[in-house]
Chains A and B, each alone.
Chain A
Amino acid sequence: MTKMMVIPKNFEMIKKLVDKSDAFLIGIENFSVNLPTSFSLEEAKKIISFLNNHEKEVFISLNKNIKNSELENLEEIMFKLNDFKIQGVLYYDMAVVNLWKKHRFKYDLVWAQEHFATNYNTCNYWKKMGINYGLLSTEITLDEIIEIIKNSKMKFILPLFGYLPMFASFRHLVNNYLDYFEKEKISNSYYMEKEGKKYMVIDDNHGTFVYSSNIINGLLESVKLKEVGLSYILLNSFNIDDEKFEEVVTMFNEVTIENSEELDKKIYEMFNNVDKGFLYTKTVYKVKENE
């Protein structure tokens, strides 16, 4: 049975959507990237308790690249999380896996090297290590996704609605540019524009992060993916109007084979920058062969 997982903007949104989602993915400050917000451990504790009371699953993202100087804090957080009732911790950096193995923490891990989950053998590599969940790449086609699901015993999480992460840097690329040309920085959020497309760029304490110009909408495809055994559909509220996001979550809950086309079309009407991402688009890498 496929579950719904939501990335919320805040506690208020969690409360609003608690009946519409089976699971929530939240970040912990200083250790999570590519999320609309991150919480202190104290705040997270309250959220987890609230979600536990509603019998909802909780996933925590510790998905940043980690420097040696951050290891002590990371270990402390991982210990504290072990006292909470959570399903899994998302990781990008292997420090998380190593600490998890050393201390035999009771929660599961979620392999979340976002652009790397592109074949089933790699998924099986992590599964053999005892890692039960994987966040699938959004740069592969629907057929490839289905093939991975069919050839691995991992429980997969797939982003099917929201802006997608395209770039992460330790550098403060917006700050640097504004500093260089002596311009004032008015917020952490800017847009990069090229050929009529706007890409959100965030320059914060962690560095610079860029997101897709379009929102991926995999509502139609979610029906097929449920059939083949996708474990979690991930819906991300980042940079999406709250009310519209709530409506989208409802639509993903209500979608059936019969109404899927109609609801999918409705999402296109709600947003003027929606597409199917790479679900039907193969990327190329040997340019000459594809000319």
Chain B
Amino acid sequence: MNKVIKKPELLAPAGDLDRLKIAFMYGADAVYIGGPMFGLRANTTNFTIDEIKEATKFAHKLGKKVYVTVNIILHNQELEILESYLKELEGANVDAIIVSDPAVLDAARKYTKLEIHLSTQQSTLNKEAAEFWKEQGVTRLVMARETSYEDLRDIKNNVDIELETFIHGAMCAGVSGRCVLSNFLTNRDANRGGCSQVCRFTFDLVDINNEKVTAEREFTFCTKDLIMLKHIPKLIDLGIAALKIEGRMRSAYYIATVVSIYRKIIDEYCNNPEKYQYNEKYEQILSRCANRESIDQFLVTDCNKDYQYYVGRQETSNQDFLGVVLDYDKKTKLATIQQRNYFEKGDEVEIFGPNHEEISLTIDEIIDEEGNLIDVVRHPLQIVKIKVNKEIKANYFMRKKIKEYI
């Protein structure tokens, strides 16, 4: 008999409306976004209330959800506008707010009917804490990044509350909420969205005898990113309600790539768990899309030296992403592409879209906006046409073909 499996929600970040639409298009069931205030990404683009309304309208038409982060730790001065802000979010029909500070939780319960998810900032790791927050009216816990598989299982077996866990993206080196390095070293308030990522700085390490530890690289807290591809079936079997991708500041290409890969894994496993097989290619695609090395983290280990990243801030920029499809003409079979990285005639590329399809081709002809045949596309955002025999659509992405599979 086939296993009966409940699909978890695939939850993606969205920095703006365009990326929100991409996330949904590529398979996210829900997105989390920052509103005009009180989110932990204060220095990036966030949604206005009108944009949140547009986002929820768009999402609800698709049967999908939008959560808004209200997860800073408030100071006195911010309390005054909290009530009106929460009411505005309720009016914008958001599906839930993600909170850290009980002052927000309290106000949300008092003044609105908003559903409340507890942020990872509260570092929930155990069933007693889970039970506590459930009694406070929280409907979903975003688990601490340090939660092990055994911890998740223990909580799931003992407390009737939805659990959400991070599956992909950057990691904090420290316990969320317990790191104020940014405050002390750069005067930027980590718990109010100003984190300056001091954990990625380098330091001299000096021992108690005042001797500097000399090594090939300077000391840093920097950790590798998280990737949970191999553990998705285990998390689904456990009944985790939502699988979360980190990265509200990430590009549309990144969102599309990561969301589509996890979508595939979830669907492949849930549709046929007995015959499910791990696909190494997914891992390669994701590793090419990331700018730091990724590894599974606290779910399965205590994170030893192999989980650290000792190359400081010299992260590689991703050059696999070649362009975005703007349009496709069925008659001429010409795709209009906006360039993101250099490509040329003869390159082997892949075009991928939201419905699991992937088209491999060799570029044999490039036409510029004036209709001239050209050999290379070297200008940022340059618009060109290339021949693609299979039908594709706007918002498909073109990337370099992954060499191992050529």
- Shortest C-beta distance, A29 to chain B (Å), equals 19
Within 8 A of B (CB), among A153-199: 164-181, 183, 186-187, 189-194, 198-199
* B146 interface hit (Cβ, 8 Å): yes
Contact yes or no, B193 A174, CB < 8 A = no
The answer to whether A65 touches B125 (Cβ under 8 A) is yes
* A183 & B131 in contact (Cβ 8 Å cutoff): no
| Distance in angstroms between the alpha carbons of A140 and B180 in the assembled complex | 12
Tell me the minimal C-beta distance from A254 to chain B in angstroms.
30
List B contacts of A272 (CB < 8 A).
none
Is there contact, CB below 8 Å, between A173 and B206? no
User: Is there an interface contact between B103 and A140, defined as CB atoms closer than 8 Å?
Assistant: no
For residues 115 through 139 of chain B, which have their beta carbon under 8 Å from a beta carbon of chain A? 122-129, 131-133
Q: Which candidate, B184-192, B236-244, B354-362, B398-406, is the interface stretch facing chain A? A: B184-192
Q: What is the CA–CA distance of A69 and B128 in the complex, to the nearest angstrom?
A: 11
Residues of B within 8 A of A120 (CB): 76, 79
User: A174 and B144 in contact (CB under 8 A), knowing A144-B75, A169-B221?
Assistant: no
* CB-contact partner of A168 in B154, B174, B307, under 8 A: B174
Residues of A contacting B124 with CB < 8 Å? 94
With a cutoff of 8 Å between Cβ atoms, the chain B residues found around residue A176 in the complex are 303-305, 307-308
Is A139 in contact with B183, judged by CB distance below 8 angstroms?
yes
Chain A residue, CB-CB nearest to B153 = A68
Is A122 part of the binding interface, using a Cβ–Cβ cutoff of 8 Å?
yes
B352 proximal to A (CB < 8 A): no
Whether the Cβ atoms of A94 and B305 lie closer than 8 Å is: no
A171 B173 Cβ-Cβ under 8 A: yes
Contact of A119 among B103, B183, B213, B221 (CB under 8 A): B103
Interface: A268 (CB within 8 A) = no
Instruction: State A64–B146 Cα separation when bound (angstroms).
Output: 13
Q: Interface size bucket, B side?
A: 35 or more
Segment from B1-9, B197-205, B363-371 that makes contact with A: B197-205
CB contact under 8 A between A122 and B102, given known A69-B150, A168-B174, A285-B192:
yes
The CA-CA distance from A197 to B148 in the complex, in Å, is 35
Q: Does B155 belong to the interface (CB within 8 Å)?
A: yes
CA of A175 to CA of B213, assembled, Å:
12
Q: Are B188 and A284 in contact (CB under 8 A)?
A: yes
Chain A residue with Cβ nearest B144: A65
| Interface assignment of B151: CB less than 8 Å from any CB of chain A | yes
With A166-B179, A284-B187 in contact, is A180–B305 under 8 Å at CB?
A: yes
Instruction: Give Cα A165–Cα B174 distance, bound, in whole angstroms.
Output: 12
Smallest CB–CB gap between B255 and chain A, Å? 24
In the complex, A199 Cα to B76 Cα: how many Å? 29
Residue pair A186, B207 in contact (C-beta under 8 Å): yes
- Asked if B107 is an interface residue, CB under 8 A from chain A, the answer is yes
How many angstroms between the C-alpha atoms of A213 and B181 in the bound complex? 11
Q: Are A119 and B75 in contact (CB under 8 A)?
A: yes
A213 to B185 alpha-carbon distance, docked (Å)? 10
Q: Is the Cβ of A65 less than 8 Å from the Cβ of B146?
A: yes
Query: Within 8 Å CB of A122, what residues of B?
Result: 73-74, 101-103
Residues 35-93 (chain B) with a chain A CB within 8 angstroms: 42-43, 72-76, 78-79, 82
CA distance A5 to B180 in the complex (A): 24
Flag if B204 contacts A193 (CB, 8 Å): yes
Q: Confirm or deny: B298 has a beta carbon within 8 angstroms of a beta carbon on chain A.
A: yes
**Residues B304 and A286 in contact, CB atoms below 8 Å apart:** no
Question: Looking at the complex, which one of B72, B76, B209, B307 makes contact with A171 (CB distance below 8 Å)?
Answer: B307
Tell me if A230 is interfacial: C-beta within 8 Å of chain B: no
Q: Which residue of A lies closest to B107 (CB)?
A: A121
State whether B183 touches A173 (Cβ < 8 A). Answer: no
> Whole-angstrom distance between the alpha carbons of A101 and B135 in the complex?
12
Q: Is A114 an interface residue (CB 8 A)?
A: yes
Whether, in the assembled complex, A281 has its beta carbon less than 8 Å from a beta carbon of chain B, the answer is yes
B298 touches A283 (CB 8 A): no
Q: Does A132 interact with chain B (Cβ within 8 Å)?
A: no
B177 in contact (CB, < 8 A): yes
**Pair A283/B192 contact, Cβ less than 8 Å:** yes
Chain A hits for B102, CB < 8 A = 122, 125-126
B302 at the interface (CB under 8 A from A): yes
Assess whether B304 is in contact with A179, with CB atoms less than 8 Å apart.
Answer: yes
Q: State the CA gap A178–B215 with chains docked (Å).
A: 9
- Asked if B18 CB lies within 8 Å of chain A CBs, one says no
Closest Cβ of chain B: how far from A114's Cβ, in Å? 7
Task: Tell me, yes or no, whether A257 is within 8 Å of chain B by CB.
Answer: no
A139 lies within 8 A of B180 (CB): yes
B residues 209-251 in Cβ contact with A at 8 Å? 209, 212-213, 215-217, 219-221, 223
Cβ-defined contact, B194 with A71, below 8 A: no
Supposing A68-B151, A98-B129, A177-B305 touch, asked if A167 and B181 sit within 8 A by C-beta, the answer is: yes
Task: Decide: A177 and B205 in contact? CB cutoff 8 A.
Answer: yes
Q: Is the CB of B126 within 8 A of A66?
A: yes
Interface centre among A70, A98, A183, A186 (most CB of B within 10 A): A98
Judge if A238 is at the interface, Cβ distance under 8 Å. no
Residues of A within 8 A of B313 (CB): none
Q: Is B310 an interface residue (CB 8 A)?
A: yes
A144 to chain B, nearest CB (A): 6
B76 touches A170 (CB 8 A): no
* Contact of A283 (CB < 8 Å), options: B43, B187, B203: B187
Besides A95-B128, A171-B302, A176-B307, 14 new A-B residue pairs in contact (Cβ under 8 A), listed by A number: A69-B150, A98-B132, A120-B79, A121-B74, A122-B103, A140-B75, A171-B221, A183-B213, A190-B208, A190-B213, A281-B187, A285-B72, A285-B188, A288-B43
15 contacts between A and B (CB under 8 A): A70-B126, A93-B126, A94-B128, A119-B74, A119-B103, A139-B180, A167-B181, A169-B174, A171-B221, A175-B305, A176-B303, A181-B215, A198-B206, A278-B183, A285-B194
Closest CB pairs A-B (n = 3): A285-B194, A95-B128, A181-B215
